[in-house]
Amino acid sequence: EVQLVESGGDLVQPGGSLRLSCAASGFIFTSHWMSWVRQAPGKGLEWVANINFDGSDKNYVDSVKGRFTISRDNAANSLSLQMNSLRADDTAVYYCVRNGGAFDMWGQGTTVTVSS
Partner 1 sequence: DIQMTQSPSSLSASVGDRVSITCRASQGIRNHLGWYQQKPGKAPKRLIYSASYLQSGVPSRFSGSGSGTEFTLTISSLQPEDFATYYCLQNNSYPRTFGQGTKVEIK
Q: Are 79 and 72 in contact (CB under 8 A)?
A: yes
101 scored as a contact of partner 1 (CB under 8 A)? yes
Of the pair 16, 60, the CB lying nearest partner 1 is at 60
Separation of CA 9 from chain center? 10
Under rule CB under 8 A, residue 47 binds partner 1? yes
Minimum CB distance to partner 1, residue 60 (Å): 8
Between 16 and 61, CB nearer to partner 1 = 61
**Beta strand 11-12 with 18-25: parallel, antiparallel or unpaired?**
unpaired
The span from the CA of 3 to the CA of 40, in Å, is 23
Pick from 17, 30, 108, 115 the residue near partner 1 by CB under 8 A. Answer: 108
Residue from 24, 107, 110, 114 in contact with partner 1 (CB under 8 A): 107
List CB contacts of 63: < 8 A, sequence separation 6 or more: 89
CB of 75 to partner 1, least distance (A): 26
Q: Does 100 bind partner 1 (CB under 8 A)?
A: yes
Alpha-carbon separation of residue 86 from 4, 65, 74, 81 (angstroms): 24, 12, 27, 12
> Does residue 66 interact with partner 1 by CB under 8 A?
no
Taking the complex as a whole, the smallest distance from the CB of residue 54 to partner 1 amounts, in Å, to 19
